[in-house]
Amino acid sequence: MIDAQTKLYGIIGNPVRHTLSPLIHNRAFKRMGLNAAYLAFEVDHLEAALKGIRGLGLQGVSVTLPYKTDVIPYLDKIDTMSTKIKAINTITNEGGRLIGYNTDWSGAMAALEEKVDLKGTRVYLLGAGGAGRAIGFGLKGRGCKVTLFNRSAERAAQLANELGFDHRPLSSLATLDRLDADVLINATSAGMHPRDDVSPVPKSILQKGVTVMDIVYHPLQTVLLREAEEQGCQTINGLEMLAHQGAAQLEIWTGKRADVRQIKEDLRKAIE
């Protein structure tokens, strides 16, 4: 029940009307016995929104597109990993001081490490955008041997040089006979609704023994994941990363561990 003691959290971005974050956090707050509420705020004026967070005393917010990088100059501090990634997705309000964190990278690593020992693995990472960048830093920290694939050669080269990765054009996947990798991660929007009839990877190069992760969660089973399963691959869907990054946000805000298994179940029911 909302009352005068309720602590307020939210998400800022544009658009946000599609977001599943209120479902994640409000149900988790209830299970954790916390008097807290989480709302979605569709923001047109970022600086004004940040002043509002301070002025109204919101305890924390998630940050989504298009503000994950643009918000940084308005914050008082960001953590070490966010400084490297140059993007944040989580803010805490500590007495008017806004501190930024990034849980995208840790959410992806947690999702992968439920299925794979990442140390020293060969990884094909598709996408050099915000998600690919965050995941790339996580993979580097795990000591993975990464080859980065991206449509823009310039963007791929920039990120690959920064992280010490190899890089190739995304189109070169179509020329391969097989994957020379243990893990393949799709960090692009290929296969996302409404263009959910495409895959960024030819089915013919997928082979048994490879773990395939797709960060897209709408639809839950993308063409890539369906074809990977048909080829005998182990698969990880987009809800896994979403659930883990949300749980990490909750821990930053409350100091308490959330039930990731239950978050996954909430998300699965909402999507299916």
What CATH number is associated with residue 263?
Answer: 3.40.50.10860
Q: What pTM did the predictor assign?
A: 0.93
Residues 131 and 112 reside in one and the same domain? yes
pLDDT in tens, 141-152: 999 999 999 998
Residues 147 and 220 reside in one and the same domain? yes
pLDDT in tens, 100-118: 999 999 999 999 999 999 9
Please check the confidence at residue 195 and state whether its pLDDT lies above 90: no
Pick from 82, 84, 108, 104: which is nearest to 162 by CA?
84
Residues 93 and 54 reside in one and the same domain? yes
Q: How many domains does the chain have?
A: 2
145-150 β-sheet, strand order: 166-169, 145-150, 122-126, 183-186, 211-214, 234-236
pLDDT above 70 coverage of the chain, percent: 100
Contact 8, 55 (CB under 8 A): no
Predicted confidence band of residue 1 (pLDDT cuts 50, 70, 90)? confident
Please check the confidence at residue 153 and state whether its pLDDT lies above 90: no
Residues 264 and 181 reside in one and the same domain? no
| Residues shown for the chain | 272
In a domain, 205, yes or no: yes
Residues 200 and 143 reside in one and the same domain? yes
Please check the confidence at residue 218 and state whether its pLDDT lies above 90: no
Q: Catalytic site residue 77?
A: no
In the prediction, which pLDDT does 82 show? 96
- The 3-class SS string of the chain reads CCCCCCEEEEEEECCCCCCCHHHHHHHHHHHCCCCEEEEEEECCCHHHHHHHHHHHCCCEEEECCCCCCCCHHHCCEECHHHHHHCCCCEEEEECCEEEEECCHHHHHHHHHHCCCCCCCCEEEEECCCHHHHHHHHHHHHCCCEEEEEECCHHHHHHHHHHHCCEEEEHHHHHHCCCCCCCEEEECCCCCCCCCCCCCCCCHHHCCCCCEEEECCCCCCCCHHHHHHHHCCCEEECHHHHHHHHHHHHHHHHHCCCCCHHHHHHHHHHHHC
Residues 197 and 152 reside in one and the same domain? yes
Domain that holds residue 132: 106-236
Q: Is the dihedral of CA 34, 37, 43, 46 positive or negative?
A: negative
In the prediction, which pLDDT does 66 show? 92
Mean pLDDT of 217-243: 96
| CATH number assigned to the domain comprising residue 203 | 3.40.50.720
In a domain, 2, yes or no: no
In a domain, 126, yes or no: yes
Residue appearing with tokens 């307020």: 8
Residues 189 and 140 reside in one and the same domain? yes
In the prediction, which pLDDT does 3 show? 93
Question: Tokens for 131?
Answer: 């998600």
Contact 85, 134 (CB under 8 A): yes
Residues 115 and 228 reside in one and the same domain? yes
Residues 180 and 232 reside in one and the same domain? yes
More confident residue, 1 or 111: 111
Residues 247 and 163 reside in one and the same domain? no
77-78 β-sheet, strand order: 36-42, 7-13, 60-63, 90-94, 97-101, 77-78
Q: Which of 30, 51, 68, 115 is catalytic?
A: 68
pLDDT in tens, 8-36: 999 999 999 989 999 999 999 999 999 99
pLDDT in tens, 47-94: 999 999 999 999 999 999 899 999 999 999 999 999 999 999 999 999
Residue appearing with tokens 């409404």: 194
In a domain, 1, yes or no: no
Residues 221 and 141 reside in one and the same domain? yes
Residues 208 and 111 reside in one and the same domain? yes
In a domain, 80, yes or no: yes
